[in-house]
A and B are shown apart, each in its own frame.
Chain A
Amino acid sequence: MLELAIGIILGCCALGAGMAMIAGIGPGIGEGNAVARACEAIGRQPEAKGSITSTLFVGCAIAETTGLYALVIAILLIFVAPDMLVNILTSTLG
């Protein structure tokens, strides 16, 4: 019975980590849009390439933040949560 419970915990942690990374879609679309607009702007004004590129990097980094939140949660679910939950389970069951 304990083995089944531990198996369910491990499986659900892996599933949750996978589902958390669905959040990667958002930053992907957002950064794609930003880069497309930056390319257009450079095409229109090649002399402003430097400032456009640095603004693009900062904007991309900010757009990436939500994806990184998902990444941190996925890493916590894979590396930290299983040990913690199994410890709680074994200590409560004795």
Chain B
Amino acid sequence: MNKVSRKFLTVDILLILGMILPILTAIVITVLFSPPTDGVEITGALIFFTIPMPIQDFPITEAQINSALVMISIFCLCLYMTHGLKENPELKRQHIAEMIVEKAEALVKDNMGDHFSGFAPFIASILALSAFSSLLSLFGLFPPTSDLNIVAGWAILVFALITYYKLKCGPLNYAKSFADPPALAPLNVISEVATPVSMALRHYGNVLSGTVIGVLIATALQGLSHLALGWAPGFLADIPLFQVGLPAVLSIYFDVFSGLLQAYIFAMLTMLYVSGAFNVDLYLKLRAEKKKKKENKRNKQYNENKVLEEK
């Protein structure tokens, strides 16, 4: 067992603090700024302050702050995992990091083909961001994915990627893809726009429905235990008889399982849509034609130069 240097340990501790501190900051902000409720209120994201802008005021909400803090936390986690990489791994975390990278690359290769193998970091980061954002509700914080704006931003990013890969085969082919049966062109345009809308609403709706059902069941159990013990004198009436246990079990499904599944599905759909938008055969054919044209032109010029020289 070789000793690690003091500098190495210091950096390690700083990175671990970088992982934990953003979450603690989010908890402190929530405790300080959220208005007092009895825990049965369903509200959207809290608006902390607004920045005046020429067209419309720009609100800074709880969802944006939490999302940024999750990003910092994931960034520090990644730095921690890759801290002290060696050719012959000594640290356990290097094995875990290598396993994650291999899994992500295999997933992308299976679903998108060899041409998109560079997409692994993007897919892995969208997966991690979505999963950690949904899991934030385990700390009692506002999960950024239950705000439509955050998820819509991701969906718009995916839509931009889809359009970019469709345009790679030329604008003419892009326009032609809408008029596949010419009579159905308007419907094709609508279905193109429906892709990001349905992606955003699916993720948002799933996470939000978990929150709403959790609050409804907690309220119902509160009423039930009040009904059962309300007649008792003193502090006995306040014993949360039925609230113990059941909400936790439901939270495993609605917060953990549903959040992770939605992250996986969002990443999966991103892969399927982006790889489906790109026609590899057509792209390679067009590129070969372009190359041939260029070569012909160059040969022609070369021959002309030769003729001139001979003269």
Residues of A in contact with B (beta carbons under 8 Å apart): 54, 57-58, 61, 64-65, 68-69, 71-72, 75, 79
Does B261 lie within 8 Å of A72, measured CB to CB?
no
Please tell me which stretch of B2-10, B55-63, B198-206, B296-304 contacts chain A, meaning at least 4 of its Cβ atoms lie within 8 angstroms of it: B198-206
Does A69 lie within 8 Å of B201, measured CB to CB?
yes
- Interface residues of B toward A: which range? 10 to 19
Minimum Cβ distance to chain A for residue B47 (Å): 15
Q: Which 8 A-B pairs have the closest CB atoms?
A: A68-B205, A61-B265, A65-B198, A71-B205, A58-B268, A65-B202, A72-B205, A71-B209
Minimum Cβ distance to chain B for residue A35 (Å): 14
Measured between alpha carbons, how far is A64 from B206 in the docked complex, in Å? 9
Q: Which residue of B lies closest to A80 (CB)?
A: B44
Residues of B in contact with A (beta carbons under 8 Å apart): 42, 198, 201-202, 204-206, 208-209, 212, 261-262, 264-265, 268-269, 272
Does A58 lie within 8 Å of B42, measured CB to CB?
no
Chain A neighbourhood of B264, CB < 8 A: 57
Question: Which secondary structure dominates chain B's binding surface?
Answer: helix
Minimum Cβ distance to chain B for residue A72 (Å): 5
**A75 and B265 contact, Cβ closer than 8 Å, known pairs A65-B198, A69-B201:** no
Chain A neighbourhood of B206, CB < 8 A: 64, 68
Chain A neighbourhood of B265, CB < 8 A: 57-58, 61
**A68 and B269 contact, Cβ closer than 8 Å, known pairs A57-B264, A75-B212, A79-B42:** no
Listed A/B pairs (24) with beta-carbon separation below 8 Å? A54-B268, A57-B261, A57-B264, A57-B265, A57-B268, A58-B265, A58-B268, A58-B269, A58-B272, A61-B202, A61-B261, A61-B269, A64-B202, A65-B201, A68-B201, A68-B202, A68-B205, A68-B206, A69-B201, A71-B208, A71-B209, A72-B201, A72-B205, A75-B212
Chain A neighbourhood of B202, CB < 8 A: 61, 64-65, 68
Question: Which secondary structure dominates chain A's binding surface?
Answer: helix
Measured between alpha carbons, how far is A79 from B44 in the docked complex, in Å? 10
Measured between alpha carbons, how far is A72 from B268 in the docked complex, in Å? 23
Chain B neighbourhood of A72, CB < 8 A: 201, 204-205
Chain B neighbourhood of A69, CB < 8 A: 201, 205
Q: Which residue of B lies closest to A70 (CB)?
A: B205
Measured between alpha carbons, how far is A58 from B272 in the docked complex, in Å? 10
Q: Which residue of A lies closest to B261 (CB)?
A: A57
Q: Which residue of B lies closest to A69 (CB)?
A: B201
Minimum Cβ distance to chain B for residue A2 (Å): 26
Q: Which residue of A lies closest to B111 (CB)?
A: A54
Chain A neighbourhood of B262, CB < 8 A: 61
Q: Which residue of A lies closest to B205 (CB)?
A: A68
Measured between alpha carbons, how far is A79 from B202 in the docked complex, in Å? 19
Minimum Cβ distance to chain B for residue A64 (Å): 7
Q: Which residue of B lies closest to A79 (CB)?
A: B42
Q: Which residue of B lies closest to A51 (CB)?
A: B110
Measured between alpha carbons, how far is A36 from B205 in the docked complex, in Å? 25
Minimum Cβ distance to chain B for residue A66 (Å): 9
Minimum Cβ distance to chain A for residue B34 (Å): 17
Measured between alpha carbons, how far is A69 from B198 in the docked complex, in Å? 8
With a 10 A CB-CB cut-off, give which of A58, A61, A72, A75 has the most chain B CB atoms.
Answer: A61
Chain B neighbourhood of A68, CB < 8 A: 201-202, 205-206, 209
